[in-house]
Each structure stands twice: as C-alpha cells, then as structure tokens.
C-alpha cells in the first residue's frame, strides 16, 4: 500500500469573534450617528430661523476620506446675509466617546461640522472614496437639505 500526503486542509477552528455582536454594535453605532445628525440638524434649523436665516449654502471638496468646506453663504430669503455671531448646541459624532457631550459652537463652525457630518455619512453609506466637489444647501425654512455632489475619477480635477 502506498502512503500519500493528505490533500485537504484541516478544518478551520470555530471563530473566536462573535460576529453577531460585532454587527449589532455596528448597527447600533450607525443608528446613534443618524439620530445625532438629525438632532444636530434640528437644533441648527431652529437657530437659523431664530436668526432670520432661511437657508445656508456650503461648498465642499472631498478627497479620499476627508471633506473640506470651502465656503459658507447664509441667506434671508433671496438676500445674502452675514452669519450672525451666536453659539448653538452641538453633539460630536465621535464613536469612541461614551455618552453624548453637548457643547456650544459658533454658528459658522456648527454649519461646517454638520455639512462634514452629512457628507462623511453619505460617503460611508455609499462606500465611495472618489474625490468630489459640490454644494450642500441647508434649507431651514423647509427643514430639508439639497445636495449637489459631483464625483471625480482620481486625478480628474
């Protein structure tokens, strides 16, 4: 009788990670981020309307995993106005921070952070890392957002 080497690999040991718990934790974190973005957006809309601003336009450029807000313009109906000097409550979306610490940001910083939050959430949900540019309009009067998102193939700018 001829002895042969086994040709099949030994079966893998059972997984040590609890993938259901990992998936549940990820889903919980996504739900938390969505709720925080909605709450931050509602506070922003309230403060914008209180300041007489009906909508804000934020222009952006995104590369890989970062988004940069290049300009912010505030409007009262069709008239461009300066961003008022007021602070609004904002909760950071840091997944590593336990609990949700509410702190105050100047209005222009809050608009920048929220625009980046919305863009990064959109890019994460779509799985894209393509460079892009465009604008995000935050319509406080309608409590809605309008996104003009223009992806670019790498190096096409």
Phi then psi for 20, rounded to 5 degrees?
-65, -40
- Assigned domain for 53 exists: yes
- Assigned domain for 15 exists: no
The pLDDT of residue 95 = 64
Residue 119 has pLDDT above 90, yes or no: no
Residue 116 has pLDDT above 70, yes or no: yes
Assign 93 a pLDDT band (cuts: 50, 70, 90): confident
pLDDT tens, position by position, 31-66: 888 898 999 999 999 999 999 999 999 999 988 778
- Assigned domain for 51 exists: yes
- Assigned domain for 45 exists: yes
Q: What share of the chain is helix, strand, coil (3-state, %, to 5)?
A: 35, 30, 35
Q: Which domain holds residue 105?
A: 22-152
Mean confidence (pLDDT) of the chain: 86
Distance CA 87, CA 24 (A): 36
Distance CA 60, CA 29 (A): 26
The pLDDT of residue 39 = 92
The structural domain count of the chain equals 1
- Assigned domain for 2 exists: no
Mean pLDDT score, 14-38: 89
Greater pLDDT, 22 or 152: 22
Residue 76 has pLDDT above 90, yes or no: yes
- Assigned domain for 16 exists: no
Residue 140 has pLDDT above 70, yes or no: yes
Mean pLDDT score, 59-80: 90
- Assigned domain for 3 exists: no
The pLDDT of residue 82 = 92
* Residue linked to tokens 């509602």: 42
- Assigned domain for 29 exists: yes
């Amino acid at each position: 009788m001829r002895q042969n080497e086994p040709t099949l690999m030994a079966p893998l040991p059972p997984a040590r990670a609890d993938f259901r718990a990992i998936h549940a934790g990820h889903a919980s974190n996504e739900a938390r981020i969505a709720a925080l973005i909605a709450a931050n957006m509602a506070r922003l809309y309230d403060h914008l309307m209180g300041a007489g601003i009906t909508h804000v336009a934020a222009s952006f450029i995104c590369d890989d995993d970062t988004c940069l807000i290049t300009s912010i313009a505030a409007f009262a109906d069709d008239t461009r106005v300066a961003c008022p000097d007021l602070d609004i409550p904002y909760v950071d979306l840091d997944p590593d921070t336990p609990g949700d610490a509410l702190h105050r940001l100047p209005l222009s910083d809050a608009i920048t952070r929220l625009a980046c939050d919305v863009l990064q959430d959109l890019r994460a949900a779509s799985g894209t890392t393509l460079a892009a540019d465009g604008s995000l309009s935050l319509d406080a009067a309608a409590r809605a957002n309008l996104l003009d998102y223009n992806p670019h193939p790498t190096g096409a700018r």
